[in-house]
Homo-oligomer: A and B are copies of this chain.
Amino acid sequence: MPPVLDFWFDFASTYSYPAAVRIGRLATEAGVQVRFRPFLLGPIFKAQGWDTSPFNLYPAKGRHMWRDLERLCEDLGLPFCRPEPFPQNSLLAARVALAGMGQGLGQGLGQGLGQGWGQGWGEAFSVAVYRAQFAEGRRIDEPATLVAILSGLNVDAKAALDRAQSDDNKLRLRAETEEAQRLGVFGAPTFTTAGGELFWGNDRLEQALRWAKRGS
């Protein structure tokens, strides 16, 4: 069994865009298996007393983040387009992503929906949602965008949305968010290892993979 790294993300998280786009290749190179774990930052932010993104609550921090992300994407050769509005409601996208995750979460999610995705289509869907929002400026809070992404992945969009909105899947997303909070997740992207290490931020992706690889 390869070492595992958990990748916790919320679709409204800006720095999760470069992380989501980069993690597949870097994990393959490191020989680490990544589990995509969508969750919701909203309840975690609320517990900290915030009712929206800290980048909106603290304007100087927000101005830096947008410019920093723009510079970062330029360095990485990634297209970048500032989403409007920000943040966008990520609830439906997170439910759909979770519904598409395969054995990665050990619960057989996505079975029967994926076509050619060994572990479900959730990972490819997640990367596509980040690209749609941050490279193409599309609205990820609109079901039509998610339907188009699913169709592009050869996934039955209606079946996927039905499963995403099932009570079982809703509860599962809530449980994932609670698990994130229990682990000490306070922002996204966050990476956690089996050994209990927690790394916050796209800047820590390479380091997190190194720690996962050596079994820490």
A residues near B, CB below 8 A?
Answer: 48, 58, 60-61, 63-64, 67-68, 71, 75, 184-187, 197-200, 203-204, 207, 211
Contact = CB atoms under 8 A, between A and B. Distances in A.
Contacts of A58: 48, 186
A207 B67 contact: no
Nearest to A204: B68
B64 A207 contact: no
- Interface pairs A-B: 6 shortest CB-CB: A60-B186, A203-B203, A60-B184, A61-B186, A64-B200, A48-B58
Nearest to A44: B60
Nearest to A58: B48
A78 B138 CA distance: 44
A187 B54 CA distance: 14
A129 B102 CA distance: 52
A204 to B, nearest CB: 7
A151 to B, nearest CB: 38
B203 A64 contact: no
A199 B48 CA distance: 26
22 contacts: A48-B58, A58-B186, A60-B184, A60-B185, A60-B186, A61-B186, A61-B187, A63-B184, A64-B184, A64-B186, A64-B198, A64-B200, A67-B197, A67-B198, A68-B199, A68-B200, A68-B204, A71-B197, A71-B207, A71-B211, A75-B207, A203-B203
